[in-house]
Amino acid sequence: MKPSAVPCNAHAAVPAKFRVPLVYRRKLSIGDELLQLSEADSLQFNWGAGLGHSPSLLRAAGNDNRAAMSERTAIVTGAGKRVGALIVAGLIDDGWKVVAHVHHFDDEVPQGAVKAIAELIDPECATRIFAAAEGLPPVRLLVNNAARFAHDGFGSFDPGEFDKHMIVNARAPILLTEEFARRHQSGEEGLVVNLLDSKLLAPNPDFLSYTVSKQALAGFTELAALALAGVGIRANGIAPALMLRSAGQTEANFEGMHSANPLGLGVEPEHVLTAIRYLIDARTVTGQIITIDGGQRFDPPARDVQFMERR
């Protein structure tokens, strides 16, 4: 059928049982999220007049959603600053109870979070972090955000740095995921989100130990998704490009390279939070990696961006 020949009442011609409405819900926090209702009867629809809904029912649905979230706890590692702190604050805004992991007693966490102090090089770090969730609602979300990022490369490979990167960036998330699964009640929903790096899709040899450790975590993400699906735990990764200036990077280089991608848009920490919110709602998505890079993988840099100038 040509587009011009589509009848104006084509939607009405579809049997009601196949018409699942999509409505947009405005959150108080960042961004809009798509809410798909499982049954049309959840709202009062007037099919003859098009899509209509009762404001009172929408308000009730929003209240029920926030009440459900208040009965869930999230754990976020590396939560005292930068991206981790923003993730914690966003989840608290969404109604989650949040355990915010930091390394030192004096490290601050966003208001409303429960602080958990642990060194990720400690083999008992997962037990210590999850202990901070005692007395809180069940843990349903684990965000492995903490990471080590130090330079080495071919010709300057540092075995000590390799071990440190693998311990913090791979072993610690594995231990935390194991503890999450051990405490998880089969049949309940759970989600593990591992923060990766977009350079996995456009690799370069700089930061060798860091890159290999993130490749290991990406591989573990897929294995965890396979192993834990049977008990209701999903595992996914988020791989952002350059978001914030890193140690050793000049402000001028950051400003020049932040938006050096085909879209010409710099990746922001808020984009990671948006992706986490999507994964929370996307209940059938597991074993996937969401890359947030403005299309940089289509024009991959030969070196790490802090060693380059914008073309």
Q: Could you tell me the residue ranges of all domains in the chain?
A: 11-66, 71-307
The CATH class of the 71-307 domain is alpha beta
User: What is the pTM assigned to this prediction?
Assistant: 0.74
Q: Is residue 63 over pLDDT 60?
A: no
Q: Is residue 275 over pLDDT 50?
A: yes
89-122 tens-digit pLDDT: 999 999 999 999 999 999 999 999 999 999 999 9
Sheet holding 73-76, edge to edge: 114-117, 97-102, 73-76, 139-144, 190-195, 233-240, 289-292
- Which tokens belong to 220? 């573990």
Establish how many alpha carbons lie within 13 A of residue 71's alpha carbon, considering only the half-sphere containing its beta carbon: 7
281-297 tens-digit pLDDT: 999 999 999 998 876 77
Contact between 235 and 225 under an 8 Å Cβ cutoff? The reply is yes
Residue located via tokens 């642990």: 118
CA distance 216 to 93: 32
Per-residue pLDDT band at 15 (split at 50, 70, 90) = very low
Largest CA distance in the chain: 71
